[in-house]
Amino acid sequence: MSTSEKSYHHGDLRAALLAAAIELLESGEPFSMRAVARRAGVSQTAPYRHFADRSALDGAVAVAGFHDLAADLSAALEVASEEAAPEEVLGALGVAYVLFALRRPAEFRIMFGNECDDADAERVRAAQGLHALLEGVLAEMFPEADVPNLSTALWGTAHGLAFLHLDGKLRPERLDEVEGRVRAAVAAVLAVSGAPAR
């Protein structure tokens, strides 16, 4: 079967291209539409059936990343017990966020490395889903708090720690040490904010 025939009969070409793009990014190999097509085993023109250009593909990769990160955060919430202290629950969210960045650094940079583009509605909605998740947790824990600003402070803490590790500003450490640093930082933000207890 020729490459063009393979691409024509591909079951879910868009999903295969996205998976290939993410694999290629995280491998550190040169990233281009042609390289993604090669990795997916389809013709060089096949990606253009779903993505107008490299920018559109980057946007789709970012959306997939936001969805995966939201799933990681939701999983962290499910593991936390209902009796857990706020700093434990929010620390777990921070850890999930930073570990996602360390596990998928190239994709994380695409997710957050560009200015917000309101024209890319899907990307904006996917990013807003993360904020909504965190604000929902905070509103339940701290109904009297300034939730939007507390959310920004906690997101900024986790996001900053993620990039400090990715950029080598914090020395490479074992994952349990990274986790400890994230949990301590979240606890410190909560202590300084004076967020009222549940």
33-81 pLDDT tens trace:
999 999 999 999 988 988 989 888 998 999 999 999 999 999 999 988 7
Q: Is the pLDDT of residue 4 over 50?
A: no
What pLDDT digit, counting tens, does each position of 74-125 carry?
Answer: 999 998 877 889 999 999 999 999 999 999 999 999 998 876 666 678 888 9
Same domain? For 95 and 17 the reply is no
Same domain? For 63 and 135 the reply is yes
Position 151 scores a pLDDT of 95
Q: What is the CATH number of the domain that holds 133?
A: 1.10.357.10
Q: Is residue 122 part of a domain?
A: yes
In DSSP notation, the chain reads: --HHHHHHT-TTHHHHHHHHHHHHHHHT----HHHHHHHHTS-TTGGGGT-SSHHHHHHHHHHHHHHHHHHHHHHHHHHS-TTS-HHHHHHHHHHHHHHHHHHSHHHHHHHHSS---TT-HHHHHHHHHHHHHHHHHHHHH-TTS-HHHHHHHHHHHHHHHHHHHHTTSS----HHHHHHHHHHHHHHHHHHHTPPP-
Domains contained in the chain, number: 2
Same domain? For 15 and 39 the reply is yes
Q: Is residue 180 part of a domain?
A: yes
